[in-house]
Amino acid sequence: MQVFLYLSVKNNDLNELNAINRLCEHLALNDKSLVLKASGVEFNHSYALYTYECGNYAELKERLKEAVCQKLFDFDALMVQSVPSLKTPGVLVMDMDMTSVQIEGIDEIARCLNVYDEVAAITGEAMHGRLDFASSLKKRVSLLKGGDALVLEKVKSIMRETDGYGILVNGLKENGWKVGIASGGFVQLINVLKDKYDLDLVRANSLEIKDGKFTGMVEGEIVDAVKKKAALSDLMKSSGVANEQSIAIGDGANDLLMINAASLGIAYHAKPKVQAEALTCLNYSDLSTVLLMLKCGDL
């Protein structure tokens, strides 16, 4: 069967021959079956896409996953059976905190309210998959009780989009794709990106606020891993998009169901547990390389 092997690295030259030789040696690839489809430099990334004829895809994926987890390479290597087409409508659903933006929203709210240490400790346990997400969220939000909701404006002011987020989102939307965020974070913060990029879906939690103060409660049902996966499915259905044209990106344990349900699921600079269980990982590139990968696939 034919598979695709995508190599990428940011702020560095990708020595394709060296990279491929290292991959071939570690994964026991037959280099004669590798065919270069596209390569170049764009968005401050060096990249290359190869096709490969193999009969042991599952075994190769496991070897590559082990190598990535052990950090044996200084570049990203993604092996997939197919690459979604940029020329055909599709959907992208991303996590918010530490994926779309480079903060953990609840941690920064807690920092403003002087309960950071208590909240961050619980956040870390949850994102590494050592605590049930819903329970951990309730515990963390309860620690915000009585805090002034105006701190949300301060947190918004320090939110920095993840490198390449705008390039990826704008590039997809220009080609008729639908883009959403499914997050265990809060709509009060996510709405900044929703308004800026005209996002097609936001599925997230909402902090209950009364008389300008946090009540320590979450409004409505908690968005957990199951609901994130459902958000991806819902956006595909509402957009009339087949699974082959779906992408999901996240960094935490509660993103795994969504990541592994998508045709192209990516653990982005993710926690060790997530890298070990996700289908593909990005550790040396930013989000713009996902758009490059799709462009290469259409050549």
- Just list the catalytic residues: 95, 97
CB proximity list for 294: less than 8 A, separation 6 or greater: 83, 84, 85, 86
Burial class (CB in 10 A: 0-12, 13-18, 19+), 116: middle
Strands 76-80 and 2-10: antiparallel
219, two tokens: 């409004």
Three-class secondary structure of residue 83 per DSSP: coil
Q: Which of 128, 126, 279, 292 is nearest to 205 (CA)?
A: 126
Tell the residue number behind the tokens 């605590």, with chain if given. 131
CA 199, 103, 191 angle in degrees (round to 5)? Answer: 25
